[in-house]
Amino acid sequence: MKKKVLVIEDDDFIASLIMGALKRAGFETNLAIDGEGALKKLETEIPDIILLDLILPGIGGFEVLEKIKREDKTKKIPIIILSNLGSHEEIKKGLKSGADAYLVKANILPEDVVKKIEEILR
């Protein structure tokens, strides 16, 4: 059975790169382009892992992370933050808020994201 990844990313180009790499690796993907859409999707479908951008229209990524970690049915879902925000403070805040990993977009290839997802799901 394919593992499901919810990709929360508002940049079309980055979303297509990441989702293409995930599909090639055998994952089932679902895309939310904003925080509100992501939270709505989580009401009806629970993915195996979430890939979360922090800079989103409407509800920001940190708020989405906190809401996911507060809800009983979603709090155990592993979350990888994938963001261009890469300061020490932001990384620390993301991990402290419950993210399992923090990847900086500028420093990583889509294949590296897939490897990190596989590592966490093992």
Q: What is the pTM of this model?
A: 0.96
Query: In whole angstroms, what is the distance from residue 25 CA to residue 11 CA?
Result: 21
Q: How confident is the model at residue 1 (pLDDT cuts 50, 70, 90)?
A: confident
CATH 3.40.50.2300 fits 8-96, yes or no: yes
Q: 21 near 9, Cβ under 8 Å?
A: no
Pick from 97, 42, 98: which is nearest to 74 by CA? 42
- Phi/psi for 52 (5° steps) reads -120, 120
- The fraction of the chain above a pLDDT of 90, given in percent, is 99
Using the predicted structure, report yes or no on whether residue 26 has a pLDDT greater than 90.
yes
Using the predicted structure, report yes or no on whether residue 47 has a pLDDT greater than 90.
yes
